[in-house]
Amino acid sequence: MSDTVLAPVRAVLALPNDDPRKTLAVALALCLACSVVVSATAVGLRPLQARNAALELKREVVKVAGLDDPGVPLSQAFGHIETRLLDLETGTLVDGDAASTFAYRDAARDPGQSKALEDDPAGIRRRPNRMPVYLVRDGGALETIVLPVYGQGLWSTMHGLLALAPDGRTAKGLTFYEQRETAGLGSEVASPRWLRQWAGKTLIGPAGEPVIEVVKGSVQPGAPDAGRKVDGLSGATLTSNGVERLMEFWLGAQGYGPFLARLDGLSR
């Protein structure tokens, strides 16, 4: 190291230990060293975090598709699922193998891969032009469709997966695998007890319009429209409203509506 760098260091080290300038210099050097270590660790761990997030997403897709089995490795269970990229504007599946690595959150931030929303019930501001979708087939016939959905809760963007029957209108399951709502209140949005009630609910009406409602309180059993309503989260109406609005968006014309309307013709 050159003398121009070392000279000030030597000068500081030569100061008596109780000199405030030496205390300050040592504290600054320590801060610098720690920040380098923290930054290097954060950067170094990023690929590992991305790999873990991808694995976690696969686990959630398998679970919401009803394919999880403790005796079957995740890679094998996920192997039964076809990951495809969907062009939301046209509602058609895009050919190519980019689907498995497609990051819709990055796409939503990129003006070249997303569109700004004027009508934005989900509170997401921009919608990616393409989204990954997951198809489960039994033989050639479609059995389950898993669609990523996300939208604003009270405190956070809630990311989830909606499993649909092949009719494209009936829910088979729902999960929220990422949210930061208040523990014990809004975070109940991710509780199996609350999510369980979604299976069998009618999400889309005869004219292709989203009809699912998250009501305040409980759904009246036996009411004629009980099939398109779910109980709200108690003490968390704002989070519940967020779920209803993200459903309205993603099942509507700007979301998966065009795709779901032409499901009948979906073949390999």
Q: Which of 72, 74, 238, 263 binds ligand FMN (CB under 6 A)?
A: 238
**Residue 222: left (phi > 0), alpha (psi -120 to 50), or beta?**
left
Q: Which of residues 176-215 bind ligand FMN (CB under 6 A)?
A: 181-182, 185-186
d(CA 173, CA 165): 9
Comparing CB distances to ligand FMN, the nearer of 132 and 151 is: 151
- Range 225-233 contact pairs with CB under 8 angstroms and sequence separation of 24 or more: 227/200, 227/201, 227/202, 228/201, 228/202, 228/203, 229/201, 230/197, 230/198, 230/201, 231/194, 231/197, 233/185, 233/186, 233/188, 233/189, 233/194
Q: How many residues bind ligand FMN (CB under 6 A)?
A: 12
151 binds ligand FMN (CB under 6 A): no
**Residue range at the interface with ligand FMN (CB under 6 A); choices 25-33, 43-51, 69-77, 237-245:** 237-245
239 binds ligand FMN (CB under 6 A): yes
Vertex 69 angle, CA 195 and 72, to 5°: 145
Give the nearest distance from C-beta 180 to ligand FMN in angstroms. 9
Nearest residue by C-beta to ligand FMN?
A: 186
Query: What SS3 class is residue 37?
Result: helix
Give the nearest distance from C-beta 197 to ligand FMN in angstroms. 17
Give the nearest distance from C-beta 242 to ligand FMN in angstroms. 8
Q: Which of 143, 157, 237, 263 binds ligand FMN (CB under 6 A)?
A: 237
